[in-house]
Amino acid sequence: MVALKYVLVPVALVAAKNIVEMITFRDENGKLHRRLAPEEYRGGVLDGEESRLLQKRDLEMHPPVDLGVYFSNRPIHRTIDVPDIYLDSQISVLTELDIFASYSRNDEKSYDMFRDPESDLIVIAPTNAAITALAKKPWQFPMDIDTMEQAGSSERDIDNAIHNNIVNFVRSHVVAYQKDTKTSKDGTVLLQSKQYSMQHSNGKGGDVLLKREGEKYCVASVVDEVFHDVQNIYSTKNGVILVIDATLSRPGA
């Protein structure tokens, strides 16, 4: 089957809660298609404060995420000063994370957790540069969208595959904070991303490695165990954002 050659035309640009911004275009045969808009088409970010859930977090009853508990042999009881901000608002204002933030907003369940004052999350956020360096865009893998198009898959099946790819990518970078997670002898902690926990209901194993070297943290995927330095840490009331110049999910991995 001959692959379709697509010609973009300015028909429409759509932004919705459940899908990434899409651009509508015609192929060379005149058939309409919807696909994710290139990064340069992206509109403004959602205002996290406008969508804030009404309740607030009680930090005395429910202390914020503390990565230090993973690397201590005894219980830690300390007060952590965190800004009056939640994950959704924090990630929306970090320009170095614009692309990941855009994808996360289109995984409704993950973004709801970012807004939830009762969440305890570790968000391992790839920089814009890390995502653009991938051989394929996050919406194009692990389900191969080009192959589906060439095979004549329906628009609905392709749109569902795109959404599932986005969910896979986002949740591969979101970890539920668990204080009782044990540290291995080499000082490494094995964590479960939301994507991993969805696929492994027995609660065993993990797919994300966290390590501390002095005052610095590093993270890796269990697939290659290549550690990447955490460039910045942003603490919020319901989690922390660890910025890395890499992705934990890659095409073909």
Domain harbouring 143, CATH code: 2.30.180.10
Query: Which pTM was predicted?
Result: 0.75
Contact 216, 230 (CB under 8 A): yes
Residue 34 in domain:
no
Residue 194 in domain:
yes
Residue 14 in domain:
no
Which residue reads 């957790």 in tokens?
113
Residue 16 in domain:
no
CA atoms within 13 A on the CB side of 188: 14
Residue 9 in domain:
no
The helix (run of H) or strand (run of E) holding residue 27 is strand 22-27
Contact 94, 213 (CB under 8 A): no
Structural domain boundaries, residue 234: 48-244
Residue 43 in domain:
no
Find all residues with CB under 8 Å of 164, minimum gap 6, and list them. 143
Domain count, the chain: 1
Residue 86 in domain:
yes
Residue 6 in domain:
no
Amino acid at 106: N
Structure tokens at 34: 């919807």
Per residue of the chain (253 residues), what is the pLDDT tens digit? 434 333 333 333 333 333 355 554 444 455 555 555 544 344 444 444 444 444 676 666 666 777 877 776 655 455 566 777 899 999 999 999 999 999 999 999 999 999 998 899 999 999 999 999 999 999 999 999 999 999 999 999 999 999 999 999 999 999 988 766 767 767 889 999 999 888 877 767 899 999 988 889 999 999 999 999 999 999 999 999 999 999 999 998 7
Amino acid at 24: T
